[in-house]
Structures are given as structure tokens and as C-alpha cells.
């Protein structure tokens, strides 16, 4: 079959900022886009940015996850390909397969790649086979005294602390950290009991506890010709309950370590026969020891920092690779320059356990200027629906140095005016003044070890306060605070 | 201008220049004019609008704080008294800022604990260059903590002798009082003659000044008078001719009645005596009044209802600030028709209670006593403050004690233990200094109230006026620095028209605007849409009580 030169139309199977992001690159390539939306999301900004928009159902959420419905809509609209964005169906191998079966190009990896890398067992095996260190772990522990003996032997080899994990685990259940032999033996019993109650399966295994590691990931791009190119590292250590809050490119590792990790990522991608853009994640200990964690088979939220330091448009690359093009650059042509930092400005209340703060964005003013990039989907008057994630806008800044990027980030945050909902902006402003952050002394425990960051005063802008008085004078016909 | 005194000079340099001055200096007493004639409502923006001209005029000082003004700032103007001082300092960087302080009563109405006095003076002394300090009984010990803190802060101390008339008010008394003060403070102070009610003739004031200068030739004298009787120009002329070096004056553009007399009139008159207003640029002085004439219209609702000079003040002796407001209190209280009797009673009460000085807090005691005497019978309903006064709580009465029958009625009033008045005085009389406050506990209390750390300035205000400070700080947290609004907006009556644009600058000179884009009412709720610095806002206010009823068609 003759290779198509360019798509005429694609469907973006996502919403909000990532949908807008994809539409922008598509438009630059002259590709028309179809936006989809649920009835409960009908005010979303991405709808206005597509060339066409189709309601896929009443929602909430279920219609963005309805593979059949989305495939039908894509076919009806005459789309030739589907970009899944991140979240929703992005890492669902059935969706990738359904696209292929419907003669639609899935802009991402093939279903088998998604399936294999989605399995911890297979992904660890691929990594091991590629000579990439994985976190030392036991097989499933035997029952009774034999299992205890296995556990004690593992502890003797790898030392404490150790993680006890349920084989069928998830959501943190059946997982515990133990620091000595007594706790290990007691913990195995407790974890088995919890796992049995939660999952109907009492099997557990042990894993070496990697303490206060850096979360480092490598952006890769792969084509169908076996070319895999990395775009350098990112540091995503600042997380809250496994949700990344701040992402930085590069990861500021020693040059030799960064090269080693990037090479490992490329090996893993090649071994997995990867296609499109993806991310290989690692944990890095203070001494530079690193372990494979997982592969994300999608474009990620934080892809913007890699774009900023390399100048490469990752979504454009995804589109071209999906058309059958080779990766548009060689490894030698990838040059990382300066530093980029990305923040997720969410409608959340950091003072209240980061609970979502839905409401109407009464006022929205955004910063700009040199080195400031915004990927957002809010506008003045937008009522944030409570059914979806709370991200309002992604702020990415570029600086020639770390300090310049930090200064620019602070300036850009100051430039936001978002009234009507609580946001994470004041929390980030705290972080930007925090000495450990400024000195790049952070790991995955940063948020937990800096609880005082939520101790900020929520300050309204002076003019907003004064406007409140004007409204009162107007309502009363006099100033009620004079007498 | 030659001879001008500026903030760049040390207190020592300033006193040296005053001692050697061949002429006199002027203090613009905006604070007293505002308090006496405009219910203390002059807003900071008015001060800012006139500030460039006042700065150019070359006053010795501008009195911008003290008296009741910090309290009214919090209660009625919703401005932080410290912020008002910062604003004034920024707008008039070369001009000394002055305040009047009621001794142990500071800027309030009762004696404060000594550690509170010292703490608050320290805070205010960061901004106030000249401290005019008095005690309504001329009881020097009541002023000593303030004296000490002001001098320690390196500021100019201006101890006052309160002046009045009558047979006890002799030159000898006042000369001795000046000496008593100088013994405490040392010679490097300015002694102020505080003629708060505008009493005495020019001849009497000239004689007093001569007497003081003859006994204390190096002392620098300041004259503060009120123009209630319309004759303060005459008194100032006589005082300057006799050796006073600084006079408190007003801008003629404010046309004050009970406050100070106009500066320009004094300058014109004293020229004939060969006395020059040192450092003063008359053109700038006139320009200031050109601004204030227009500005004054905003404050018209706060001017006294009963206007015009009142020469009968010589008998009732109310201080300038109280003269107008008493008529309004009588009007509101429904006894306006009895004012002639009350004022006559004021004169009697003055004499009966000791012929001391009718100035805060003594003026309030005299007024309340006179009103109660007329309305309920003589000394039949004595106030707690009157009882405290007779018991000597504020300090010893300077000349004589009230007659026994008065002491009996006052001190035995509602007394359940059967004690006789002389027993009460013997057992409970005398000065009782309030116990020192636990400042850290007070700070904790304040922080609990406002939900944030309290600065030392916040604490100083809280120690003076706890309830009103908390109310103000909560207001400020909710409404911001509303003093930035033009006063014509702050005092607006009748709401705003759609399309009306309110423009103003912030402290850094940045322009801002708020434009009313629509107003509508749904039941008791008024919905106002505004453009605030280009951003669209819609705010709702729910009216309660009478305000909730729509006006009749």
C-alpha cells in the first residue's frame, strides 16, 4: 500500500489541554481535527479548537472511555487516525487494536506493545533481558516456614528496609515497609491476611525498598524502522501521592549517569519494539544506582519540558511516525540546552488535602513573555466540571540556567490572575521560595518532608477586595463602613 | 527657603535653629482642623492631594496624627493609623510629622499601663518626628513614660502646659509648671502652650509668654490655640511678638472655625510687627488652599451643624473639637433646646470641680456632668469617670478640691457598703496605675482573632483599641486598602451610574480603574458587574433591614 503523505483529518479522543495541544500540532501540519465531548463537558475549550466537534454521549467519563462509540464517530466524521492523548483510552491495548481493526491509524504504539509494557512482569523481564537493573525482588513467597526462610534470606542479601507487596495488589493495599526481622515476619502474616481479604489471594513477595530516590524518566521516540532516539532526561521527583507536581528537564544527573540511563531507555524501547513517543521511568538512588520502573506508552503531561530544551515537537513527531515516516532527527541532532520546568496549575485546595475546587473561573489572566509556555484550556467564565481532572493550565518555563528558570517560573506565577476557584498557584509559590528546592535538594519524599509548604496566606488581589466595597456602596447607596 | 527646618536635621540641630530664629515657624495642624471641624474625617487621599503644596510651603511640621485620629482612622475611615503616617511621610519627605499625645491616655480616653504606653510610643515614634504631649491636669508624672520614650527614640519632645483662665491660672503657676517639666526632660525640648479652648486675650497670652521667657530664657515656645472665639490670630500675634517660635495654624482653604486660625492671616499681620514666617513659601501655601477649597465640598456632610465663632466659649471653655460636636450630641439626644442651660452649667461645673483644663479626657467629664446636672438634677447622676476624678485616679486636682456636698453626692452615689465620701477617698483614693499588660498574651489573643501573625504595629493598635483594631484588621483583610479610593467615592451617596469609571492610583503610582458595567436588583440582592483593571467581575450584595426595601417610586 502506498504510504500516505499526510492525514486529512484525525479525531482527538481526549479533552481539555491535551486535546488542544494535539490540535495545535495537527493544524501546523494542515490536518483537520475532530473534537469529541461528553454532554457534561460541553463547555470545554477544546471543543472550540477542533474543526469539527461531536458529542459522544451524556457522560460523565464513560463516553470518553467508550471504544465502540468513539470508533463509530471517527468513521462517520471521515477521520483517518485517532490520537488518544493521555489518560482515558491512551494505554488501553483494546483501543489501539479496535482502531487498527477499523482501518484507523492509532497514533501511538501497537496493541501488543501497550499490553506487554502494561504488565509489570513482562516489562521487568524485557528490562532484565536488556541488561537494565530492576529493583531486586523475590518470587512469590512460599507459604509457612519456608516462606519465612526465603524472606530472611532476601533480607540478609539486600538489608532493611524491605517492602512487602501483594502479588495481586493495587491501590496501596497489602503493601508495607518493614525495618527489622521481627517486623518482617509479622508483616508477612498481616499482608497475607489483608491481601486475602482485599483480593481473594494471599500471595505476597518482597522488594528491596529504594529509599528517597529521584524519579528520573527518559523521553523516547521510535519509528517502525527500528530507530529509537531519546530526548534526554526529566526529573519528576516532586510528587504528591504518586502524582507528579513539578517536572524538570534535564534531570541534572552526572553526565555519565545520564548517558547510561538514556542508553538503557533506548535498549528497553528497542527490546519492546516500541513505536511512537513514550517514556521509560527509573528510580535513582543517591549513589547513582538506578532501577527500571516502568514504561508509559503515551504522550505524557510533562512532555513539554523535553520539547522546550530540545526544540522538538513531540506530537508532530507522533503524527509523522503514525504516517509511516522515520524519526525526523538522529540522536546526534538532539541537543539539550538550558532548563525547563513545568507545573500543573490545578483547581485544587492545597490547604485541604488538595481536594478539587470546582467552580466558575470568574477572572482569568495569564502571564506571557520570554520563555513562558502555557498549555491550558480555561477561559473567563468557564465552569470547571467536577467530573474530570482538575488541571486548569500547564505552565512550562524555559531558562538558560536552573536559577533563570526558577526566577522565570516565579515571575510567571505572579502573572496569573485566576479568580473563582482555589488553585495550586500559592503552593507552588511557596516551593519556589523554599531553600531545598532552590538548591535542587529534592527526591520523592520532598512533599512529605516539607509539610509547611501549605502554610501560606491566601491573598486576594488588592483591587478585587476594593471592588467588593464598590459593589457594597452601589448596593446600599452609601458606604456602610463610614458610620 | 532659607532657614527651613527639614527631616534631614537632627533634633539637636532643629532646637538650635529654633532658639536662634529671628522670626517664627508654622505648624499646619491638619489633625486638629479635621478633628474640630470635620469630625476627623479628612481622608488620606485629601492629605495626598494637598501634600505637594504643603511640602513646598516649608512648615516646621504638619500634625497628622494623635488625639482621637488613630481611633477614628480605625472606626470610620478604615485606614491603618501607621499606614496613614507612612503615606504622609512618603508624600512630604522633608516635612516633620507631628502628633498630639494625651500623656498616660496616649491616643485614647483612659490611662494605659506603663508598658503599653512605652510599647506604643516606640512604634509610633518610628514615624512621628514631633511629639506634643499633655495631661489634662498638667500632672507631669502622667507624662513621664511618654517623655522618656520619645527622647530615647531621638524625636523632638514638645511637652505642653494646658492653659486656661481664672484666678488660679497665674503666670507663677505656669512658670513653675514649665520648670517642673524642664527638670524632668532637660532643656532640649519645645514647651507648648496648649490653649485648647482658645481662651484669654492677646494681652494675657503675651504676658504669659513674657513671664515664661523671663524665667527660662533659653526655652523654645510653641503656641497651640483654637479659634473658637475668632480671636486666635490676636493671641498668636501677641505670643510671637513676646517670643513664641512656632504657631499651630490651618489652611485658609479649609476655613476652619473651631480648629486653628489661617496661616496666611497670621503671616500678613505679623509682617507689620517685623516678624517673618521662616522657611515659608506663601505661593505654595495659597496653592494648598486652592486645592482644599475644592476638596472641602466632599466633607460638607461632616461639618458642624452649628457654625460660626462663639465668644461665649470663654465661660464654658470647651475645647475646639468639642465645641461643635456638643450641639450635635444635644440635637441627637433631643435636648438641643436646653443647650444654653447646659453651657451655663458647664461654666459652673468647671469652677466647682477645680477649674482645671477642659481637654480630653477632662472635657468629656465636664460635658457629661453638665448634661446630667441639667437633665437629672445637680450631681444626681455622676459618671464613673467623675467619681474617679474626684478620687484622684487621674492625679491630684491642681488648685482645689470640690466642695464637700459635691464629693458626698458623687462618691456616695449607689454605694452599697455605706462608706462615707471621706472614707472612700482615704481608703481608695489616689492615683492607681494600671498593671502592666502581658504583651505576649495580648499578641496571642490578637493573632487568634485575626488568624495570622500580628506585627508590632498591629499589637500597638490592639493595646490601644482592642475591639476596633480587630474589626479594622478584619475589614482590611476583606476589603483591602480602601483608603486608596478617592474620598468622593468613599463617602458616595446614591450608588453609581452604569458606565461610571472610578480611577485612582495605588501607593506606587500605578493607575487603576473600576467601571460599573451593570446593576440590577433581584429582591434583596443587588448584582453589580464591574470591570476591574480590564477584568470582568460580578458581585452580589444581599441587603438587610431597611436597605432591603426598594425606594418608593
B182 shares its domain with B78: yes
Tell me the percentage of chain A whose pLDDT exceeds 70.
98
**What is the SS3 assignment for B514?**
strand
Number of domains in chain A: 3
A339 shares its domain with A389: yes
B70 pLDDT more than 60: yes
Its domain, for residue B70, covers 11-302
Strand order in the sheet with A32-38: A52-57, A32-38, A9-12, A81-83, A105-106
Is residue B495 exposed (0-12), middle (13-18) or buried (19+ Cβ within 10 Å)?
A: middle
At A398, the pLDDT band (50, 70, 90 cuts) reads: very high
Tell me the average pLDDT across A299-323. 97
Cβ proximity of B139 and B172 under 8 Å: no
The pLDDT assigned to A482 comes to: 86
Q: Give the lowest-confidence range in A43-57, A276-290, B323-337.
A: B323-337
B280 shares its domain with B184: yes
Distances (CA, A) of B342 to A141, A344, B60, B324, B368: 100, 72, 39, 14, 10
Residue B533 to residue B530: CA distance in whole angstroms: 9
Inform me whether the C-beta atom of residue B306 falls under 8 Å from chain A C-beta atoms: no
Residue A475 is assigned to a structural domain of this protein = no
Residue A465 exposure: Cα atoms within 13 Å on the Cβ side: 17
Q: How far is A240 from chain B (nearest CA, A)?
A: 27
Residue B56 is assigned to a structural domain of this protein = yes
Element (H, E) at B99: strand B96-101
Its domain, for residue A170, covers 144-208
**What is the SS3 assignment for B505?**
strand
Element (H, E) at B208: helix B202-215
CATH number for the domain spanning A65: value is 3.40.50.20
pLDDT in tens, B468-503: 999 999 999 999 999 999 999 999 999 899 999 999
At A241, the pLDDT band (50, 70, 90 cuts) reads: confident
Inform me whether the C-beta atom of residue A468 falls under 8 Å from chain B C-beta atoms: yes
Q: Three-state SS string across chain A, please?
A: CCCCCCCCEEEECCCHHHHHHHHHHHHHCCCEEEEEEEHHHCCCHHHHHCCEEEEEECCCCHHHHCHHHHHHHHHHHCCCEEECCCCCCCCCHHHHHHHHHCCCEECCCCHHHHHHHHCHHHHHHHHHHCCCCECCECCCCCCHHHHHHHHHHHHHHHCCCEEEEECCCECCECCEEECCHHHHHHHHHHHHHHHHHHHCCCCEEEEECCCCCEEEEEEEEECCCCCEEEEEEEEEEEEECCEEEEEEECCCCCHHHHHHHHHHHHHHHHHCCCCEEEEEEEEECCCCCEEEEEEECCCCCCHHHHHHHHCCCHHHHHHHHHCCCCCCCCHHHCCCCCEEEEEEEECEEHHHCCEECCCECCEEECCCCCCEEEEECCCCCCECCCCCCCEEEEEEEEECCHHHHHHHHHHHHHCCEEECCCCCHHHHHHHHCCHHHHCCCCCCCHHHHCHHHHCCCCCCCHHHHHHHHHHHHHHHCECCCCC
Residue A138 is assigned to a structural domain of this protein = no
pTM of the model: 0.79
Cβ proximity of B164 and B317 under 8 Å: yes
Name the active-site residue from A234, A298, A344, A408: A298
At A283, the pLDDT band (50, 70, 90 cuts) reads: very high
A168 pLDDT more than 80: no
Tell me the average pLDDT across A391-410. 97
At A459, the pLDDT band (50, 70, 90 cuts) reads: confident
Tell me the average pLDDT across B119-139. 98
A49 shares its domain with A166: no
Inform me whether the C-beta atom of residue B166 falls under 8 Å from chain A C-beta atoms: no
CATH number for the domain spanning B140: value is 3.20.20.70
A94 shares its domain with A243: no
Residue B357 is assigned to a structural domain of this protein = yes
The pLDDT assigned to B552 comes to: 44
Residue A472 is assigned to a structural domain of this protein = no
Q: How far is A23 from chain B (nearest CA, A)?
A: 28
Tell me the average pLDDT across A72-78. 97
End-to-end CA distance of chain B: 60
A298 is catalytic: yes
Q: Do A482 and B490 touch (CB under 8 A)?
A: yes
Nearest to B492 among A363, A479, A483 (CB): A479
The pLDDT assigned to A120 comes to: 73
Residue A302 is assigned to a structural domain of this protein = yes
> DSSP secondary-structure letter at B277?
B
Number of domains in chain B: 3
The chain A residue lying nearest B507, using CA atoms, is: A462
Using a CB-CB distance cutoff of 8 angstroms, which residues of chain A are in contact with residue B452?
457
The pLDDT assigned to B553 comes to: 37
The pLDDT assigned to B328 comes to: 84
Point out the domain boundary residue: B302, B324, B359: B302
Point out the domain boundary residue: B401, B428, B455: B428
Residue A2 is assigned to a structural domain of this protein = no
Q: What is the mean pLDDT of chain B?
A: 94
A85 shares its domain with A224: no
Listed in sequence order, the residues at least 6 apart from B65 whose beta carbon sits closer than 8 Å to its beta carbon are B31, B81, B84, B85, B97, B98, B99, B107, B124, B127, B128
A249 shares its domain with A204: no
Residue A196 is assigned to a structural domain of this protein = yes
Tell me the average pLDDT across A347-356. 92
Residue A195 to residue A206: CA distance in whole angstroms: 14
Query: Using CB atoms and an 8 Å cut-off, which of residues 336-375 of chain A contact chain B?
Result: 362-363, 365
Closest to B176 in 3D by CA, of B193, B161, B164: B161
Cα angle B520, B512, B52 (rounded to 5 degrees) comes to 130
Point out the domain boundary residue: B280, B302, B324: B302
Tell me the average pLDDT across B158-171. 97
A75 shares its domain with A153: no
A361 shares its domain with A443: yes
Q: Which residue has the cell 457598703?
A: B417
End-to-end CA distance of chain A: 84
A118 pLDDT more than 70: yes
CATH number for the domain spanning B389: value is 1.10.472.90
Residue A343 is assigned to a structural domain of this protein = yes
φ, ψ for residue A280 (rounded to 5)?
Answer: -105, 125
Q: Do B491 and A482 touch (CB under 8 A)?
A: yes
Q: How far is B502 from chain A (nearest CA, A)?
A: 9
CATH number for the domain spanning A312: value is 3.30.470.20
Using a CB-CB distance cutoff of 8 angstroms, which residues of chain A are in contact with residue B543?
475-476
Closest to B124 in 3D by CA, of B155, B145, B102, B93: B155
B21 shares its domain with B123: yes
**What is the SS3 assignment for B290?**
helix
Q: Do B495 and A466 touch (CB under 8 A)?
A: no
The interface predicted TM-score of the complex, written ipTM, equals 0.89
Residue A476 is assigned to a structural domain of this protein = no
Query: Using CB atoms and an 8 Å cut-off, which of residues 509-528 of chain B contact chain A?
Result: 512, 514, 516, 519, 526, 528
A316 pLDDT more than 90: yes
A198 shares its domain with A250: no
A173 pLDDT more than 70: no
Q: Do A468 and B479 touch (CB under 8 A)?
A: yes
Q: Do B482 and A469 touch (CB under 8 A)?
A: yes
Cell numbers given for B247:
504657631
Residue B533 is assigned to a structural domain of this protein = yes
Q: Do B536 and A363 touch (CB under 8 A)?
A: yes
Residue B403 is assigned to a structural domain of this protein = yes
Tell me the percentage of chain B whose pLDDT exceeds 90.
88
Using a CB-CB distance cutoff of 8 angstroms, which residues of chain A are in contact with residue B537?
362-363, 419, 464, 467
CATH number for the domain spanning A174: value is 3.30.1490.20
Cell numbers given for A462:
488588592
Residue B451 to residue B471: CA distance in whole angstroms: 13
Residue A349 to residue B22: CA distance in whole angstroms: 68
> DSSP secondary-structure letter at B28?
E
Residue B540 is assigned to a structural domain of this protein = yes
Tell me the average pLDDT across B443-463. 97
Residue B439 to residue B184: CA distance in whole angstroms: 28
Inform me whether the C-beta atom of residue A465 falls under 8 Å from chain B C-beta atoms: yes
A240 shares its domain with A199: no
B548 pLDDT more than 80: no
Using a CB-CB distance cutoff of 8 angstroms, which residues of chain B are in contact with residue A471?
526, 528, 530, 539-541
B547 pLDDT more than 80: no
B328 shares its domain with B184: no
pLDDT in tens, B107-125: 998 899 999 999 999 999 9
CATH number for the domain spanning B504: value is 3.10.600.10
B283 shares its domain with B411: no
Cβ proximity of B516 and B530 under 8 Å: yes
Residue A434 to residue A211: CA distance in whole angstroms: 22
Q: Do B481 and A464 touch (CB under 8 A)?
A: no
At A445, the pLDDT band (50, 70, 90 cuts) reads: very high
Q: Give the lowest-confidence range in A61-70, A140-149, B196-205, B298-307.
A: B298-307
Using a CB-CB distance cutoff of 8 angstroms, which residues of chain B are in contact with residue A380?
535-536
Nearest to B512 among A380, A463, A483 (CB): A463
At B425, the pLDDT band (50, 70, 90 cuts) reads: very high
Amino acid at each position: 500500500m502506498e504510504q500516505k503523505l499526510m492525514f486529512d483529518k484525525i479525531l482527538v479522543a481526549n479533552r481539555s489541554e491535551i486535546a488542544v495541544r494535539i490540535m495545535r500540532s495537527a493544524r501546523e501540519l494542515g490536518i483537520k481535527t475532530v473534537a469529541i465531548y461528553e454532554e457534561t463537558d460541553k463547555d470545554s475549550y477544546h471543543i472550540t479548537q477542533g474543526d469539527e466537534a461531536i458529542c459522544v454521549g451524556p457522560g460523565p467519563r464513560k463516553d470518553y472511555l467508550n471504544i465502540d462509540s468513539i470508533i463509530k464517530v471517527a468513521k462517520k466524521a471521515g477521520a483517518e487516525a485517532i490520537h488518544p492523548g493521555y489518560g482515558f483510552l491512551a494505554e488501553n491495548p483494546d483501543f489501539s487494536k479496535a482502531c487498527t481493526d477499523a482501518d484507523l491509524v492509532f497514533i501511538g504504539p501497537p496493541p501488543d506493545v501497550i499490553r506487554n509494557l502494561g504488565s509489570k512482569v513482562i516489562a521487568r523481564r524485557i528490562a532484565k533481558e536488556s541488561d537494565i537493573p530492576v529493583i531486586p525482588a523475590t518470587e512469590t513467597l512460599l507459604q509457612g516456614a519456608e516462606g519465612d526462610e526465603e524472606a530472611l534470606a532476601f533480607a540478609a542479601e539486600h538489608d532493611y528496609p524491605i517492602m512487602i507487596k501483594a502479588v495481586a495488589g493495587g491501590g496501596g493495599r497489602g503493601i508495607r515497609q518493614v525495618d527489622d526481622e521481627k517486623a518482617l515476619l509479622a508483616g508477612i502474616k498481616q499482608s497475607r491476611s489483608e491481601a486475602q481479604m482485599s483480593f481473594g489471594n494471599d500471595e505476597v513477595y518482597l522488594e528491596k525498598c529504594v529509599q528517597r530516590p529521584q524519579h528520573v524518566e527518559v523521553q523516547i521516540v521510535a519509528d517502525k524502522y527500528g530507530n529509537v532516539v531519546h530526548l534526554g532526561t526529566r526529573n519528576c521527583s516532586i510528587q504528591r501521592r504518586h502524582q507528579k507536581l513539578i517536572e524538570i528537564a534535564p534531570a541534572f544527573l552526572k553526565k555519565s549517569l545520564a548517558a547510561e540511563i538514556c542508553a538503557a531507555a533506548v535498549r528497553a524501547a528497542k527490546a519492546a519494539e516500541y513505536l511512537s513517543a513514550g517514556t521509560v521511568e527509573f528510580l535513582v538512588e543517591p549513589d547513582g544506582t538506578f532501577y527500571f520502573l516502568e514504561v508509559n506508552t503515551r504522550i505524557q503531561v510533562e512532555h513539554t519540558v523535553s520539547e522546550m530544551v530540545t526544540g522538538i515537537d513531540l506530537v508532530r513527531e507522533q503524527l509523522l511516525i503514525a504516517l509511516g515516516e522515520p524519526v525526523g532527527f538522529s540522536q546526534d541532532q538532539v541537543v539539550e540546552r538550558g532548563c525547563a520546568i513545568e507545573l500543573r496549575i490545578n483547581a485544587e485546595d492545597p490547604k485541604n488535602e488538595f481536594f478539587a475546587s470546582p467552580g466558575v473561573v470568574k477572572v482569568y489572566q495569564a502571564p506571557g513573555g520570554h520563555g513562558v509556555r502555557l498549555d491550558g484550556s480555561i477561559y473567563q467564565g468557564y465552569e470547571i466540571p467536577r467530573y474530570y481532572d482538575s488541571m486548569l493550565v500547564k505552565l512550562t518555563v524555559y531558562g538558560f540556567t536552573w536559577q533563570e528558570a526558577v526566577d522565570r517560573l516565579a515571575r510567571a506565577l505572579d502573572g496569573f490572575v485566576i479568580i473563582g476557584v482555589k488553585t495550586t498557584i500559592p503552593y507552588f509559590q511557596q516551593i519556589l521560595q523554599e531553600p531545598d528546592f532552590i538548591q535542587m535538594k529534592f527526591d520523592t519524599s520532598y512533599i512529605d518532608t516539607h509539610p509547611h509548604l501549605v502554610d501560606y496566606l491566601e491573598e486576594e488581589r488588592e483591587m478585587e477586595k476594593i471592588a467588593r466595597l464598590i459593589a457594597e456602596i452601589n448596593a446600599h447607596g452609601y458606604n456602610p463602613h463610614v458610620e | 527657603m532659607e532657614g527651613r527646618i527639614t527631616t534631614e536635621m537632627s533634633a539637636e540641630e532643629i532646637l538650635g535653629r529654633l532658639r536662634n530664629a529671628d522670626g517664627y515657624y508654622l505648624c499646619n495642624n491638619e489633625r486638629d482642623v479635621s478633628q474640630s471641624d470635620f469630625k476627623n474625617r479628612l481622608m488620606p487621599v485629601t492629605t495626598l492631594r494637598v501634600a505637594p503644596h504643603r511640602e513646598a510651603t516649608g512648615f516646621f511640621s504638619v500634625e497628622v496624627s494623635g488625639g482621637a485620629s488613630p481611633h477614628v482612622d480605625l472606626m470610620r475611615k478604615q485606614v491603618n493609623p501607621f499606614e496613614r503616617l507612612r503615606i504622609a511621610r512618603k508624600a512630604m519627605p522633608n516635612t516633620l510629622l507631628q502628633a498630639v499625645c494625651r500623656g498616660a491616655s496616649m491616643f485614647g480616653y483612659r490611662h494605659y499601663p506603663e508598658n503599653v504606653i512605652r510599647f506604643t510610643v516606640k512604634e509610633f515614634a518610628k514615624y512621628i518626628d514631633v511629639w506634643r504631649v499633655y495631661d489634662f491636669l498638667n500632672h507631669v508624672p502622667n507624662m513621664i513614660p511618654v517623655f522618656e520614650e520619645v527622647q530615647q527614640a531621638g524625636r523632638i519632645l514638645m511637652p505642653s502646659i494646658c492653659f486656661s483662665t481664672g484666678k488660679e491660672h497665674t503666670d507663677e503657676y505656669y512658670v513653675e509648671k514649665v520648670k517642673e517639666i524642664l527638670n524632668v526632660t532637660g532643656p532640649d525640648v519645645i514647651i507648648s502652650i496648649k490653649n485648647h479652648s482658645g481662651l484669654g486675650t492677646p494681652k494675657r497670652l503675651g504676658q504669659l509668654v513674657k513671664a515664661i521667657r523671663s524665667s527660662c530664657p533659653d526655652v523654645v515656645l510653641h503656641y497651640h490655640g483654637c479659634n473658637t472665639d475668632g480671636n486666635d490670630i490676636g493671641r498668636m500675634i501677641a505670643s510671637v511678638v513676646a517670643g513664641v517660635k512656632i504657631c499651630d495654624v490651618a489652611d485658609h482653604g479649609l476655613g476652619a472655625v473651631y480648629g486653628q486660625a489661617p496661616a496666611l492671616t497670621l503671616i500678613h499681620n505679623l509682617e507689620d510687627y517685623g516678624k517673618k514666617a521662616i522657611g515659608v513659601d506663601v505661593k505654595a501655601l495659597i496653592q494648598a488652599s486652592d486645592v482644599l477649597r475644592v476638596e472641602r465640598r466632599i466633607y460638607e456632610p461632616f461639618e458642624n451643624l452649628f457654625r460660626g465663632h462663639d465668644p461665649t466659649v470663654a465661660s464654658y471653655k470647651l475645647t475646639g473639637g468639642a465645641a461643635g460636636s456638643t450641639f450635635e450630641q444635644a440635637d441627637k439626644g433631643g435636648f438641643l433646646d436646653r443647650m444654653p442651660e447646659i453651657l451655663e452649667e458647664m461654666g459652673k461645673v468647671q469652677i466647682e470641680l477645680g477649674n482645671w483644663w477642659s481637654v480630653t479626657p477632662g472635657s468629656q467629664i465636664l460635658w457629661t456632668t453638665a448634661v446630667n446636672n441639667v437633665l437629672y438634677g445637680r450631681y444626681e447622676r455622676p459618671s464613673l469617670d467623675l467619681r474617679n476624678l474626684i478620687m484622684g485616679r487621674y492625679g491630684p486636682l491642681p488648685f482645689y478640691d470640690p466642695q464637700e456636698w459635691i464629693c458626698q453626692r458623687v462618691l456616695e452615689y449607689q454605694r452599697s457598703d455605706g462608706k462615707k465620701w471621706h472614707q472612700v477617698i482615704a481608703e481608695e483614693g489616689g492615683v492607681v496605675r494600671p498593671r502592666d499588660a502581658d504583651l505576649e498574651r495580648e499578641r496571642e489573643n490578637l493573632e487568634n482573632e485575626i488568624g495570622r501573625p500580628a506585627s508590632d504595629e498591629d499589637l500597638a493598635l490592639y493595646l490601644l483599641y482592642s475591639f476596633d483594631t480587630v474589626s479594622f484588621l478584619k475589614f482590611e483583610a476583606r476589603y483591602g486598602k480602601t483608603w486608596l479610593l478617592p474620598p468622593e467615592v468613599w463617602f458616595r451617596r446614591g450608588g453609581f451610574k452604569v458606565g461610571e469609571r472610578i480611577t485612582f492610583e495605588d501607593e506606587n503610582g500605578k493607575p487603576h480603574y473600576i467601571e460599573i458595567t451593570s446593576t440590577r436588583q433581584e429582591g434583596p440582592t443587588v448584582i453589580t458587574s464591574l470591570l476591574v483593571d480590564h477584568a470582568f467581575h460580578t458581585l452580589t450584595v444581599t441587603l438587610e433591614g431597611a436597605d432591603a426595601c426598594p425606594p418608593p417610586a
